[in-house]
Chains A and B, each alone.
Chain A
Amino acid sequence: MAGVLHTLVEPGFFSDSAVQLALVVGGVVALVAAAVGVFTVLRGQAFAGDALGHMGAAGGSSAYLIGLAPLWGFVAVALAAAGLMEMVGIQRARGRDLATGIVLGAGLGLAALFLYLDTTHSGTAGATGTILVGSIFTLDPAILPAALALGAIALIIVIALFRPLLLSSISPELAVARGIPVRAVGILYLIAMAVAVALCAVTIGAILSTALLIGPGAAALALTNRPGRAVALAGVIGLAATWLGVLLAYDSYYWPPLHHGWPVSFFVVALVLIAYLGARAGGRRRVGG
């Protein structure tokens, strides 16, 4: 037994402080993203979630420029972008993707500029890689309280709004008839999503953050129709993908071709995709049989 464990887990995995921090922060982020993500999938806002993450790159890179932790840049830009999308017209189904796309395009242009300034002026040459694809093993321990607080905010919004949010996601007309302020609920949800995406951006990078947001939620919804169960299932899938990803990345230190480790984000995204494809296959068989 100990031998099996030893081949699965390279020695020193659990005693390494960087790994411990990665497991804690990654776990919190995965749970928050999964809970928020179920609704992102239900509301058909995958593009908005993806756009918020990609635009976070502009925030992370500008934070580097002024010497802040990237997390604050991710949060600030995601919130600003969410507000802008809301203003340009995300509430109308028609033209919503276009509004998202326009805001995203402008945001990516800014990201290009800031990353350029990072690499040429402030001497943070590794900034491009860190911001775009993340580096969970080099997190600053000081980030933990902020990550916990932000995660709590997003979770509280989703839990407090659970029923109105569910109804306005599935049937906006019915929600209006019931007197639910659909637009206000939508704006609050967008805030929760922006925070969740910013947290994902810190762990697996701005351009990959969608994987943790959408993947577990979509997989869970392929397996069950019951919302509460879907949120719980998404949490389990997100947590498993993140922790297994961290473990595999740690093990991969001795893998070919370069023997300096594969990126964590690759494992997390690949595991999320596998979970989604597996859930789709499983869900279809259950429905069919």
Chain B
Amino acid sequence: MFSAFMVNAWIVATIVAVVGGAVGFFVVLRGSAFVAHAVPNGSFAGAAAAALVGISTLVGLGVFALGGALGIGLLGRRGRPEVATALTLVFMLALGALFLGFTTEYGPEIYSLLFGEVLGVSSAALAPTAGLAAATLAGLALLYRPLLFSSVLPESGRARGVSAFGIELCFLMVVAAATTVTVPVVGTALIFSLMIGPAAGARAFTARPHLALALSMAFALVTVWAAIALSYESGWPVGFFVGAGSAAAYVCGRGWTLARRRV
């Protein structure tokens, strides 16, 4: 499990968990679970396009994640945001289906893109992944205060001159960057589960933002590490264990809330 070819997987999994847990904290705080689901899922089309043209998957994912995030942000500005999100998502997925129809490689390829692959990380992808993750975290650190403000108290954020739309757009781009980092390991379908479950669980334990952020990253780390270990042992897809682990983190949080209320 810790042999040479698994080292990349462990490193990237750790990066993925830290990024997922950190971005997820804000996803839960802002109540933008749908966007966190749509951007990674839609970026699937990018990976399919990259396979078709023969460029790096990471580039395809990045371009489509960014395009999807911008599409959601701009379309949702006027009209119903959730409708804009839903339609952007399905159109990107349909594009993905089209691109896959054009390529000859089918089944296993899409499958590992959708649901994750432990061994899907090459050494060449390691440096760009780490760089992008660092950029995502830096962006989040830069946005930390305005994000917290506009998430918790939208009115006072506006009063302080924080543009809600600008913040939303910046945040969408952070989600897009996080997506690009996390897709190859966890798969497009389950990333958002990693973003939501641990963060929602963490919020049940503490109301203090710093502590909740740290706890969210810790839960995400445990989830991803356990998922990789279990997937390696059983041969079952990583995504299944990530989904189960994230739900477990949330259930723990809910249980803790209930238990405390009873005392």
Which residues in A have some Cβ–Cβ distance to B below 8 Å? 41, 44, 46-47, 49-51, 54, 94-95, 97-98, 100-102, 104-113, 115-116, 119, 125-126, 128-129, 132-133, 205, 207-208, 210-211, 214-215, 218, 222, 257-258, 261-263, 265-266, 268-270, 272-273, 276, 280, 284
Residue among B33, B85, B91, B106 making CB contact with A101, cutoff 8 Å: B33
- Whether B82 contacts A47 by the Cβ 8 Å rule is yes
| Chain A to chain B contacts (Cβ below 8 Å), 28 pairs | A41-B83, A44-B82, A50-B90, A54-B189, A97-B31, A97-B34, A98-B28, A98-B33, A100-B34, A101-B37, A104-B193, A109-B190, A109-B244, A111-B189, A112-B115, A112-B116, A112-B237, A112-B243, A207-B93, A208-B90, A210-B86, A210-B90, A214-B83, A218-B79, A218-B80, A257-B102, A262-B101, A276-B83
Which chain A positions have C-beta within 8 A of B130?
A: none
- Kindly state whether residue B149 has any CB partner on chain A within 8 Å: no
| A102-B34 contact in complex given A46-B85, A109-B242, A214-B86, C-beta closer than 8 Å | no
Q: For the complex, what is the distance from the CA of A270 to the CA of B116, rounded to whole Å?
A: 27
Which chain A positions have C-beta within 8 A of B87?
A: 210-211, 214-215, 218, 272-273, 276
- Whether A47 contacts B242 by the Cβ 8 Å rule is no
Q: For the complex, what is the distance from the CA of A260 to the CA of B110, rounded to whole Å?
A: 19
Q: For the complex, what is the distance from the CA of A272 to the CA of B88, rounded to whole Å?
A: 11
Which chain A positions have C-beta within 8 A of B189?
A: 54, 108, 111-112
- Whether A263 contacts B244 by the Cβ 8 Å rule is no
- Whether B111 contacts A115 by the Cβ 8 Å rule is yes
- Whether A210 contacts B89 by the Cβ 8 Å rule is yes
- Whether A269 contacts B243 by the Cβ 8 Å rule is no
B contacts with A, residue count (CB < 8 A): 54
For the complex of A and B, list the 7 residue pairs with the smallest distance between their C-beta atoms, beginning with the closest. Answer: A109-B243, A105-B193, A101-B33, A269-B94, A112-B115, A112-B239, A46-B82
**Nearest-Cβ distance from residue B255 to partner chain A, whole angstroms:** 13
| A112-B101 contact in complex given A50-B86, A98-B196, A214-B87, C-beta closer than 8 Å | no
- Whether A112 contacts B193 by the Cβ 8 Å rule is no
- Kindly state whether residue B226 has any CB partner on chain A within 8 Å: no
**How many residue pairs between the two chains, A and B, have CB atoms under 8 Å in the bound complex?**
184
Which chain A positions have C-beta within 8 A of B46?
A: none
Q: For the complex, what is the distance from the CA of A125 to the CA of B107, rounded to whole Å?
A: 7
Which chain A positions have C-beta within 8 A of B190?
A: 105, 108-109, 112
Which residues in B have some Cβ–Cβ distance to A below 8 Å? 28, 31-34, 36-37, 41, 78-80, 82-83, 85-87, 89-91, 93-95, 97-98, 100-102, 106-108, 110-111, 114-116, 187, 189-190, 192-193, 196-197, 200, 236-237, 239-244, 246-247, 250
Residue among A110, A208, A284 making CB contact with B94, cutoff 8 Å: A208
**Nearest-Cβ distance from residue B71 to partner chain A, whole angstroms:** 10
Which chain A positions have C-beta within 8 A of B115?
A: 111-112, 115-116
Q: For the complex, what is the distance from the CA of A263 to the CA of B237, rounded to whole Å?
A: 27
| A109-B247 contact in complex given A44-B82, A128-B111, A276-B87, C-beta closer than 8 Å | yes
Residue among A106, A208, A272 making CB contact with B97, cutoff 8 Å: A208
Q: Which of B83, B102, B106, B242 has most chain A Cβ within 10 Å?
A: B83
Given contacts A104-B37, A261-B101, A284-B78, 18 further A-B contacts (CB under 8 A): A47-B37, A47-B82, A105-B193, A105-B246, A109-B240, A109-B244, A109-B247, A111-B189, A112-B243, A129-B100, A129-B107, A208-B97, A214-B83, A218-B87, A263-B94, A265-B94, A266-B94, A269-B94
Chain A residue at minimal CB-CB distance from B44: A207
**Nearest-Cβ distance from residue A59 to partner chain B, whole angstroms:** 15
**Nearest-Cβ distance from residue A36 to partner chain B, whole angstroms:** 14
**Nearest-Cβ distance from residue A211 to partner chain B, whole angstroms:** 4
Q: Which of A49, A97, A262 has most chain B Cβ within 10 Å?
A: A97
Which chain B positions have C-beta within 8 A of A257?
A: 102
**Nearest-Cβ distance from residue B75 to partner chain A, whole angstroms:** 8
